[in-house]
Amino acid sequence: MMVLATCVHANAAPSQSQDYQSCLNRTRSDPGGALAQANGWSRNGGGPPADHCAALALVGLKRYGEAAVKLDALARSEFAAKNNMRAALFDQAGNAWMLAQRPDSAIASFSAALAIDAFDADYLADRARALAQKQNWAKAEADLTAALLVSPGRADLYVLRGSARHALGRKGEARADFDLALKIQPNNPDALLERGNGKYENGDIAGARADWQASVNANPNSDAAATARQHLADTAAP
């Protein structure tokens, strides 16, 4: 999954900008302290910048639903004076809804971002992830194809589209996407994992294990490596 951005170009007044940046920086290292700071600032006239900092602090505290509500409200407010800022806030809200396991709400927020900028590859990929959470693979695949038209050099988009195509039963196209991802980024652990899964389904156990081991080697601490490691254990010779 893509991580929530921690900064939006805000229309804070010059006198607020230092407090705003300080609060945003704190959301990464001390979200509890950042929330207290934002709430105190809000009581003293901090306004929407304080609310934005509070929302990002809530994400850090894993209070995702509360954060999403705040971010959606900010996107619809005068705080989002420029379209690119409004779209970014909707995208942040969508990511928070995803973390809250609310894909329908996430799709609505991502769609609002795309209504502003229909050709942003990140917004398209984010909506595709929400659609995948609902197992709406056809629409997810369509969004990812659109994203790849904008950003054809992104390995992560090929991996995501390959996963959607595999779920649709289009295994040859899925394998082609994983191969394209690995041509762009040879040590992509997610692409190696997914290609290995496809090889295993086709009965190529040795080839699958080679890809899974390569996934582990590429990034031992990744989620993909953890899954690949389990697959290796499950298919080890007795």
- Which residue, among 229, 189, 190, has the nearest Cα to 209 in the 3D structure? 229
What is this structure's pTM?
0.88
CB-CB contact of 132 with 163 (8 Å): yes
Residue extent(s) of CATH 1.25.40.10 domains in the chain: 153-238
Q: What is the predicted pLDDT for the residue at 15?
A: 54
* Coil, helix or strand at residue 183: helix
pLDDT in tens, 12-71: 455 567 788 889 999 999 999 999 999 999 898 888 889 999 999 999 999 999 999 999
- Which residue, among 62, 90, 98, 63, has the nearest Cα to 74 in the 3D structure? 90
Architecture of 153-238 per CATH?
Alpha Horseshoe (1.25)
pLDDT in tens, 62-114: 999 999 999 999 999 988 878 888 999 999 999 999 999 999 999 999 999 99
DSSP 168: T
Instruction: State the Cα–Cα distance between residues 12 and 41, nearest whole angstrom.
Output: 13
